[in-house]
Amino acid sequence: MTNSKTLTDTATDLGRTAGEFARDAKGSVEEMGRTAARKIDEARIDAGDSLHAAASTVRAKGRQGSDAIGKVANGAADKLEATGSYLKEHDLQDAADGLRAFSRNHMAGSLIAAGALGFLVGSALARLTHTCAGGNA
């Protein structure tokens, strides 16, 4: 009877330990996700601020040139301002929703872009793997 009770107790303890481990792991993953989201938001806001600063610089430099250069510079600055404002006002979910809508409206271009991106990522990973394997030899 003692062996049976000991095995039962051990199994119960292992079950509890596994459950605690799973809860801890879930909590760690959730915290990493929150940290990543917070860093992405900070980067998004910084990028928006940088685009606004770039727009100001383009406008200032454009005024120093001819009228034609000034018009082109103002157009570019307006685009930078709009992009900076979009980044600051929209979160990652808004960007993902916009990308989904764009890909639905431009299916062929989206498929070509996805294929090209996949090729580039695959090539980069192959080079990285080859470089790492060569360095360990």
- The whole-number pLDDT of residue 4 equals 62
% of residues, the chain, pLDDT over 70: 90
Average pLDDT over residues 52-74: 80
Domain of residue 11, residue span: 2-90
Question: Does residue 132 form part of some domain?
Answer: no
Amino acid found at 35: T
Q: What angle do CA 63, 65, 66 make, to 5 degrees?
A: 105
Question: Does residue 111 form part of some domain?
Answer: no
Counted domains in the chain: 1
pLDDT band at 19 (very low <50, low <70, confident <90, very high): confident
Give tens-digit pLDDT for 95-117: 788 888 888 898 888 888 888 88
Rounded Cα distance between 23 and 68, Å, is 63
Give tens-digit pLDDT for 74-97: 888 888 888 888 878 877 778 788
Question: Does residue 118 form part of some domain?
Answer: no
pLDDT band at 12 (very low <50, low <70, confident <90, very high): confident
Question: Does residue 35 form part of some domain?
Answer: yes
Rounded Cα distance between 55 and 88, Å, is 15
**CA of residue 88 relative to chain centroid, distance:** 15
Amino acid found at 112: I
> Residue 53, SS3?
helix
- The whole-number pLDDT of residue 28 equals 77
Question: Does residue 21 form part of some domain?
Answer: yes
Question: Does residue 45 form part of some domain?
Answer: yes
- The whole-number pLDDT of residue 137 equals 45
Question: Does residue 73 form part of some domain?
Answer: yes
